[in-house]
Structure formats: structure tokens, C-alpha cells
Amino acid sequence: MISANVVTLLYLIASVCFIQALKGLSHPTTSRRGNAFGMVGMAIAILTTAALIISLAREGTAALDLGRIVLGLLIGGSVGTVLARKVEMTKMPELIAFMHSMIGLAAVAIAIAVVAEPHAFGIAAIGAPIPTGNRLELFIGTFVGAITFSGSVIAFGKLSGKYKFRLFQGAPVTFAGQHLLNLVLAIVMLACGFWFMGTQSWLPFVLMAAIAFVLGVLIIIPIGGADMPVVISMLNSYSGWAAAGIGFSLNNPMLIIAGSLVGSSGAILSYIMCKAMNRSFFNVILGGFGAEPSAGGGAAAGQRNVKSGSPDDAAFLMSNAETVTIIPGYGLAVARAQHALKELAAKLADQGVTVKYAIHPVAGRMPGHMNVLLAEAEVPYDQVFEMEDINGEFSQTDVVLVLGANDVVNPAAKNDPKSPIAGMPILEAYKARTVIVNKRSMAAGYAGLDNELFYMDKTMMVFGDAKKVLEDMLKALD
């Protein structure tokens, strides 16, 4: 038998590990240590919970099917291991959205089990009503979990871009009266929740959960692709609060602490992402920019003249520069070109060129996407700079190499007050002496906006797959 004091102590140790994990993940140089703390903490939490379940089963205080529990652990652990080993960096945002959906669904499933058999969780005696406080916790945990699940499913589809179903398209899906409908559904959902609190009836509970599932879809579909990094961190926060709410219902301090850490860190990250795009959280929720391409995008963009060059031309310009700043974007991730980029940067450094990387907070499809991409290629951390640290250097930079980035280097944010991204902080690449931009085509970015940077006299476009272009640049340098 494992005592309650031992369980509490082990959960406390796991919680400390999670806190250390977040602290370690705050900087690239300590991220490996942070990951290690996170894995140790989760292992302690899982093993402690398993030991507690076995102890309760042996005491006969709970009717538990240990075979199903072990089977669930094996299936979940196996799926997680396979996904972690096989997932590509370009698919990481979708994987994270999928994980968020599973956390939300788990919260709903646990809440249903608690409402069905509260005595099995030690919340109430057989036949006795669930305490009012626990009903409130179940109410909150259920609707937050349901919104997280369905919203994450939509985010997964939008990020994947493989599905033709309209709800999964990157463009926002809007209709007349959308916000009013969302408000009405939210009020009805909350009313059902309070009805459940007063009666402990299944009808309001089921209605509340069903409306929450629908509301999760309706909240995410009007959000444009350019706001997806914020959506990812927002859903991360929701999943944490859902877990914390269920933790209160189960009187499980581990779930409460871990859920609160995830919820609060996700909320802070959402704020940082919104600040990086000069948008408020409510602006994002009420519909993303990128609903309509700007007048300069689409067909008009294809009619404007740009200066294009070859990888050899780009290699010549960079090899004769004193400073080169590289701005990676999602196009680099799609081409899986981070290793070729690392080789190019090393070759330039061998020739006496000072090479730096500039990272925008919302570059890619999730927060930190580009940082992880460069870390995978073992790019030295001291060469990687955040936007606020490097923006002041662009005016003294000889060459800027933009790889698959678009919206985060768009001068319209600074120069066009009517632009949908006006006021959004950007990497000020347009201030450099020479700009080299690698793109597959002149198609607009994820926000659906044309980019004036591409038409400047100082800009040279190099079209093609990022990996192929970088490899050709390497050959030219040799």
C-alpha cells in the first residue's frame, strides 16, 4: 500500500520538475535540461498514479480493471513514441494541435465519468449528491475541455492544409451574425452549466458539453492563417485550465499544478504573440487578418516587375559582404533546408563573413518554430537573435537573406497605415544595403498580403525550393 503522504510528496517532486522544465525551456542553452526535467516529472507523475491505482484496487476501495489501465498506458505510450520519432519539423504545429485536442477530450471524458460515478472518485458517497463546489469545477472543466478539443481539431486542419473541407481552409470562414451567434451560444452554455450545478441532471450537462463542442468550432473558423501562432498558444492555455479544473474535481494536486502551469504559460505566450503582431487577444478571437487579400496581392502581384537572380548571383553578393543576416521562414521548414543553411552559414564564416540569424516571434506556424528548426541543425545559439535585439543592426547590414518569410518582413506594417498588419512589429530587413529573397513564387504570404520588399531596387529575388537554392549557393561558394 502506498500512503497518502508518499503520494503527495511524489506529486510535489513531479511539480517541482515541471517548474524547472519551464525555466529550462526559457532559453535555448538550457532547453535540453528543461526537457529532461519535464520527462522525469511526467514519469514520476505517471508511476505514482499507477501505484495509487494498484493500491486502491488491492484494498478493494475501488472497482478497477487493471488490465484496461495497463492497456491504455501501453497504447498511449506507443502512439506517443512513434509520433515523436517520425514527426517532421514541418508537421510539429499540427502535432501540437492534435495533442491539445486530446487533452481537452480527456478532460471531458473524466468529467463524464465523475458525474456518472462520483463515489468511485471519492467525491461523494453512493447515492449522495456531488458537492456544489465540485459541480462548479466539473462544469468549468467540461466546457473548457470541449472547446479546446473541437477548436484544436479545426486548428489542426487549418495548419495541415491537406483537407478540402471549407472549415479546414487557411482562409477565415465568416458569415452574417457570427459573433452574435457565438454570444448566444456562450450564454446558453453557461445557463446549462448553472442548471447542472443546481440539479446535477444529465440533460443540462450534455447540452452544455454539446454547445461547447460547437462553440469551439465557431470560435476558430473565423481566425485567419496569419493568427495561427496565437491560436496554438491560446489552445495550449485552454488545455491547461481544463486539466486544472478536473484536478480540483478529483482532488489531485498534480493535475492542478501541472494544468495551472500550462494554462498560465500559454496565456502569457498568447499575450507575447499578440504583442508581436500589434493585435489584442480579442482581435484574434473575433477574426484574423488575412480574410481578404490586399489590393496589391493576387493577380496584381504577378504583373509587377521584380529583380530576379540566380543562386550564383546571391552567393557572389554574400561572399563579398562583411555582414550577412539570415531571416528564416516557413518556406525553409517546408523545404527541410535547415541543414543546408547551416552549411552555407559555416562556409561564409570561413570566408570571414559575419553571419547572424534574425527570428521573428511569430515566424512559422507556431511560437518558437524557427528557433527549434535552427536548433535541430545545431546552429550555434550565439548566432541567433530575437527581433528586438537585431532590428537596430539592419541599417548597417550588407546583405539580408530572407528564406521563405513574408509577412514578418513586410514594410507595409511600418509604412502603410491602411494595411491589415499596420503597426505589427517586423524584422526591418528593408533597411539593409542589399536584400536577397528566396521564394518558390510571388504568391502572397499566409496573411494574404503582397510585400513591397520584393519590389525594392535593393532586392533580388531567387526563385526555387529553399533546399535546392541553398545547395546551389554552396556550390557557387566552393
SS3 (DSSP) at 321? coil
Locate all alpha helices (DSSP H) within 320-377, ordered by sequence. 330-335, 338-350, 369-376
Question: Nearest Cα to 22, choosing from 239, 373, 263?
Answer: 263
Mark whether 407 is an active-site residue: yes
CB 312 within 8 A of CB 472: yes
Locate all alpha helices (DSSP H) within 117-201, ordered by sequence. 132-160, 178-199
CB 353 within 8 A of CB 319: yes
Query: β-strands 354-359, 323-328: how paired?
Result: parallel
Q: What is the DSSP letter of 308?
A: B
CB 231 within 8 A of CB 273: no
Catalytic residue among 312, 313, 350, 407: 407
Question: Nearest Cα to 439, choosing from 462, 455, 412?
Answer: 462
Interatomic CA distance for residues 365 and 159, integer angstroms: 7
CB 148 within 8 A of CB 104: yes
Query: Any residues with CB less than 8 A from the CB of 110 and at least 6 apart, and which?
Result: 141, 246, 249, 250
Q: What does the longest C-alpha to C-alpha distance in the chain come to?
A: 81
Query: Strand order in 399-403's β-sheet?
Result: 384-386, 354-359, 323-328, 399-403, 434-439, 459-463
Question: Nearest Cα to 473, choosing from 325, 307, 342, 330?
Answer: 342
SS3 (DSSP) at 354? strand
Query: Any residues with CB less than 8 A from the CB of 244 and at least 6 apart, and which?
Result: 141, 255, 256, 258, 259, 260, 263
For 309, the grid coordinates are 537572380
For 232, the grid coordinates are 496554438
Interatomic CA distance for residues 180 and 178, integer angstroms: 5
Q: Among all chains, which residue has been given the C-alpha cell 478493494?
A: 60
Query: Any residues with CB less than 8 A from the CB of 477 and at least 6 apart, and which?
Result: 315, 319, 344, 347, 348, 351
CB 348 within 8 A of CB 75: no
Q: Give the residue numbers marked as catalytic.
A: 407
